[in-house]
A and B are shown apart, each in its own frame.
Chain A
Amino acid sequence: MATLNIQHVDKIYDNNVQAVFDFNLDVKDGELIVLVGPSGCGKSTTLRMIAGLEDISAGKLLLDGKDITSAPAKDRDMAMVFQNYALYGHMTIYENMAFSLTLRKENPNVIHKKVLAAAEILGLTSQLNKKPSQLSGGQRQRVAMGRSIVRNPKVFLFDEPLSNLDAKLRGATRREILLLHKRLKATMLYVTHDQTEALTLADRIVCMSMGHVQQVGTPIELYDKPANKFVASFIGLPPMNFFDVTVRADHLEGKGFTVPLTAEEKAVLAPYAGKEIDLGVRPEDVQAGGDIAMTVYSNENLGMNTLVHGHIGHSEAASNKISAKLRGWCDYKEGDNISVSFSRKHFFDKETGVAIRKEENA
């Protein structure tokens, strides 16, 4: 397959709006990279620049070491799968899958072999004589993937391919994409705004916001060690809780509550003594029982867990709101007072939003 090097890529539109700022990424051979971020963060623009559907304003794009920055889309040997499938409604599934090869005037027998092989991989063999309108959304998306597979491209590009599917189908198709990646061992770039897709599919995730890359890392790195407050809030469901706290000698002081610090945490926060920082706690790191008072205002039973919403420190300030994912079935009522503790904490610089960690302070 292929390696892809994206070096200092910018995208500036004619109206001087800059959509992507200094994007850098080295994609290894056979790697599945997921670009994730909220709508308008520049992830699809980046993918379209890689595909050749958008011009690159500055920077370089290398495929297997060869500069393809200004190469037309057709010469890039990349296949793109779109959110809306982009299938030809008047053609059968077989004809749709064979279309790109037919245009290249490949031998019909070779086309036939490739289409059947792709259909076999995707479980579409029995659907080949049908029209796209006779298939479900998931099947249509598989056809779109099949159309890419038959081309045997160096790089696969996916632009939110599961966004049009319902939740159940999305999960099933996601697993199919993962299996496909393992089977083809292909280099893939996948764009999504869904962090679940990003966490489950990616070898590495590129988290973007406002055109800037916020963090590049493995899913566990982004979850466990978010580089900044944005990544911390974006990765994880329900999102991380944030509290305004002041660093004291042996604890953090919030509005109406205190959080004790371990020796290691004290060392990490030593340069911030007396200063305000943001404390981040994931809902799953909140445990029932402890020193922090919490007032419940709603309770969502999820079966194995209960998502409890409320506020801590007897303060209804926005910065004291908390969501806790507690184990088991809880039957709290609105106004119940419970106590909680935090098993794991994340600290962020109040001004820059950058994570405060041992490495940074070492």
Chain B
Amino acid sequence: MNEDKNIRLDRMRYTKNTTASGLALLAILFNVFYFISIYESDVGSWYYNILIGASILYNLVFMLAAFLSSEGVKNYKIGYSYAMIILGVIQLARIFIYPMRAHAATVTIQEQAIVVMGTAQFIRTVLYLVLSAACLFAGAVVGIIRSRALAGHLATLESKAA
């Protein structure tokens, strides 16, 4: 049992942390679903302000940062795991920027009050952001556990060699 554990640890010297990096890529995918869902909305002029521009820019930055993090955690770099946690927190915070506000807002079109974001779209967008954040947190946890385990194993090997 102990030998199995040692071999599993030793394998990490030559194999990538594909679980953590895969989760980071999955987080990007859920984020894409999220912004497609937001940007396809066409309800009056509620979305037409500076915030939508900032949102577009942030999505680009998020995808780049999440991709770089996926490459970092793949190579057991613990710093990228912490970056993934920060990205996950921001994803959760984004629920309050668009979905919550849009779900509560109404616009008047041809003398009819229309809810900017219906309940179905609201649930969908919140779900995408939560899933995206969950993937980032899970990837970060896996990354931290494995990076620490590998670092410990390498230290043991070095002390044995010395």
B113 to chain A, nearest CB (A): 57
Q: Give chain B interface residues in 1-38, CB to chain A under 8 Å.
A: 4, 7-8, 10-11, 13-15
Asked if residues A108 and B14 are in contact (CB atoms below 8 Å), the reply is no
Closest partner residue, chain B, to A116 (CB atom)? B10
Residues 107-130 of A, flagged 1 when their CB comes within 8 A of B and 0 if not, give 011001101100000000000110
Most chain A beta carbons < 10 A, residue from B4, B10, B14? B14
Does A94 count as interface, using CB distance less than 8 angstroms?
Answer: yes
* B7→A113 contact, CB < 8 A: yes
The answer to whether A109 touches B14 (Cβ under 8 A) is: no
CB distance from A279 to the nearest CB of B (A): 61
Asked whether B8 lies within 8 Å of A94 as measured between CB atoms, the reply is: no
Chain B residues with CB below 8 A from A112, complex form: 7, 10-11, 14
Q: Is the CB of A94 within 8 A of B7?
A: no
CB distance from B11 to the nearest CB of A (A): 5
Query: Among A92, A108, A109, A129, which residue has the most Cβ atoms of chain B within 10 A?
Result: A109
Q: Choose one: A92, A95, A109; the contact of B4 (CB below 8 Å).
A: A109
Chain A residues with Cβ under 8 A from B14's Cβ? 92, 94-95, 112, 115, 128-129
Q: Separation in Å of the A52 CB from the closest CB of chain B? A: 31
Q: How far is the CA of A134 from the CA of B14 in the complex (A)?
A: 16
Residues of A within 8 A of B4 (CB): 109
Q: Report the count of interface residues on A (CB-CB < 8 A).
A: 11
Contact A109 B8 (CB under 8 A): yes
Determine how close the nearest CB of chain B comes to the CB of A101; give it in whole angstroms: 13
Write out the residue numbers on chain A whose beta carbons fall within 8 Å of the beta carbon of B7.
Answer: 109, 112-113
CA separation between A319 and B80, bound complex, in Å?
77
Nearest A residue to B14 via CB reads: A94
Chain A residues with Cβ below 8 Å from B15 are 94-95
The complex places the Cα of A189 from the Cα of B10 at a distance, in Å, of: 35
How distant is B13 from chain A, measured CB to nearest CB, in Å?
A: 8
Chain B residue nearest to A128 (CB atoms) is B14
Contact with B along A17-42 (1 / 0, CB 8 A): 00000000000000000000000000
Complex: A115 Cα to B14 Cα, angstroms: 10
Shortest Cβ gap from B43 to chain A (Å): 46
Question: In the complex, A108 Cα to B11 Cα: how many Å?
Answer: 8
Interface residue ranges of A48-105 to B (CB < 8 Å): 92, 94-95
Q: Which residue of the partner chain A has the closest CB to B7? A: A109
Nearest-neighbour CB distance to chain A for B26, whole angstroms, equals 22
Give chain A's interface residues, CB within 8 Å of chain B.
92, 94-95, 108-109, 112-113, 115-116, 128-129
Given A95-B14, A112-B10, 4 extra CB contacts under 8 A:
A95-B15, A109-B4, A109-B7, A109-B11
**Nearest 9 CB-CB pairings of A with B:** A94-B14, A109-B7, A112-B11, A128-B14, A112-B7, A109-B4, A129-B14, A108-B11, A109-B8
Complex A-B: 19 CB contacts under 8 Å: A92-B14, A94-B14, A94-B15, A95-B15, A108-B8, A108-B11, A109-B4, A109-B7, A109-B8, A109-B11, A112-B7, A112-B10, A112-B14, A113-B7, A115-B14, A116-B10, A128-B13, A129-B13, A129-B14
